[in-house]
Amino acid sequence: MYAIIVGAGKVGRNLARELIVKGHEVTLIESSRPCYLAIEEEFEHAAQYGDATELWVLERSGIQRADLVVAVTGDDEDNMLVCQVAKEKYLCDRIIARVNNPRNHDHFRLLGIQPAVSATDLILRLIEHEVPRYGLVHLLALEEERLEIIELEVNDDAPVVGEKVADIALPEGSLIISVLRGGAGFVPKPDTVIEAGDEVLLVLDPGLEEAITTYFAPNGHPADV
Amino acid sequence: MFVLIVGAGRVGSAVAKSALAAGHEVSVLDQDPLSHERLDAGQSKSWEDAQGQFTVGTALEVDALIQAGIERADVFIASTGGDNTNLIIAQIAQKRFGVEKALVRVMDPARAGWYGQQGLYTISPTQHAIEMFESALEVQPA
């Protein structure tokens, strides 16, 4: 695979390193001269100096044959522009953008730049995951595929407590894929009985979060995402 | 006509003043409160007394755009100092807020050209300068 990584900060550098170790071809583009000189020693010809929002810089890096473009600069507008141009002008199939300010997430979505990864959001997910009895936790959203995976802790007074999985009439578009009990996870069978304190993982069509919460955690508060 | 101008630098503030003088409703958004001085400079009345609007905020903040009146803007002008900022906010104005006409200042002729083909009205001062130099030199464009 040939990957172009834009922005040689900590994220860009480490990504480049990992991909190279895995045997991929990488070009790492950096627009600050001092930073470029620092990475050039390590990355040699894989490092390129230039502003990747300039079309000729992308072309010089061989964007026409890139399988993946990753924009991880500290500037959201630059990341959006690089990915938009890569996708729409150079028809690169796979793009990944970094979101520095989570409030800009909507803008990435509006311009069709997916996936857009925000460190703040990821850490927030982990916090939700670590804080017990939080209610519903979004584990993964597959926006293109229109599916999401969520986690719910089963309340003592939830309607599903003591019910067999086969007997729980969940809304269409939802499925229990895993149960975590006593620190171990397993894939439930139709005769598995749900207990209070279980953590259940479900795959859902988007928009079913609230309906699902009433089954497992009637007093829980759906996490705001 | 309601004109929203983001970026009150030399270009933005001058266009704001002439649009206001021509009788349009004009709102200006800039992240620097001091840029307001450019709107007052050389005028007999202050910008607000002349019925101009001024909002402090950055153009990627949706709240700031709404406060500046983007929802009823007929024309959006992106004239901040950053090409990429201008190109992104003009698309937000068009795609999210349905502003009919988005004018974008883009210094880089290459980006201005491509985004111009994608439906933005791009204006490249650099391209104009190149053409003027070429014509002063009486050479043909490369």
pLDDT tens for each residue of A147-200: 888 888 888 888 899 999 999 989 898 999 999 988 888 999 999 999 998 888
Nearest to A54 among B88, B95, B108 (CB): B108
The reply to whether B21 falls in a domain is yes
The reply to whether B119 falls in a domain is yes
Nearest to B60 among A56, A88, A107 (CB): A107
Mutate to test the interface with A, among B60, B70, B88 (most CBs of A within 10 A): B88
The reply to whether B118 falls in a domain is yes
Tell me whether residues A53 and B60 touch, CB distance under 8 A. no
User: What pLDDT does residue A129 have?
Assistant: 67
CA distance B54 to chain A (A): 23
Q: Which CATH class is domain A2-117?
A: alpha beta
The reply to whether B124 falls in a domain is yes
The reply to whether B142 falls in a domain is no
The reply to whether B86 falls in a domain is yes
When pLDDT is cut at 50, 70 and 90, the band that residue A219 belongs to is low
Instruction: Give the residue numbers in B contacting A (CB under 8 Å), as ranges.
Output: 60-62, 82-85, 87-88, 91-92, 95-96, 108, 110-111, 114, 118
Q: How many domains does chain B have?
A: 1
* Residue B99 belongs to domain spanning: 2-137
User: What pLDDT does residue A146 have?
Assistant: 80
ipTM of the complex: 0.90
In the sheet that A184-186 helps form, which strands lie side by side, from edge to edge?
A136-142, A147-153, A199-204, A174-181, A184-186
The reply to whether B105 falls in a domain is yes
Q: Which residue of A has its CA nearest to B97?
A: A110
Judged against a pLDDT cut of 50, whether residue A223 lies above it is answered with no
Judged against a pLDDT cut of 80, whether residue A124 lies above it is answered with no
Tell me whether residues A54 and B62 touch, CB distance under 8 A. no
Measured CA to CA, the distance from residue B14 to residue B86 in angstroms comes to 17
The fold of A131-216 is Alpha-Beta Plaits (3.30.70)
Q: Are A177 and A187 in contact (CB under 8 A)?
A: yes
When pLDDT is cut at 50, 70 and 90, the band that residue A123 belongs to is confident
Nearest to B110 among A54, A75, A101 (CB): A54
Tell me whether residues A111 and B91 touch, CB distance under 8 A. yes
Q: Which residue of A has its CA nearest to B113?
A: A55
pLDDT digits (tens, 9 = 90+) for A6-54: 999 999 999 999 999 999 999 999 999 999 999 999 999 999 999 999 9
Closest CA to A87 of A114, A62, A49: A114
Provide the CATH number for the domain around residue B19: 3.40.50.720
Residues 6+ away with beta carbon under 8 Å from B81: B7, B9
Judged against a pLDDT cut of 50, whether residue B101 lies above it is answered with yes
Tell me whether residues A101 and B60 touch, CB distance under 8 A. yes
Nearest to B88 among A80, A101, A103 (CB): A80
Judged against a pLDDT cut of 90, whether residue A217 lies above it is answered with no
Measured CA to CA, the distance from residue A106 to residue B119 in angstroms comes to 21
A115 cis-preceded (ω within 30 degrees of 0): yes
Nearest to B114 among A89, A110, A111 (CB): A89
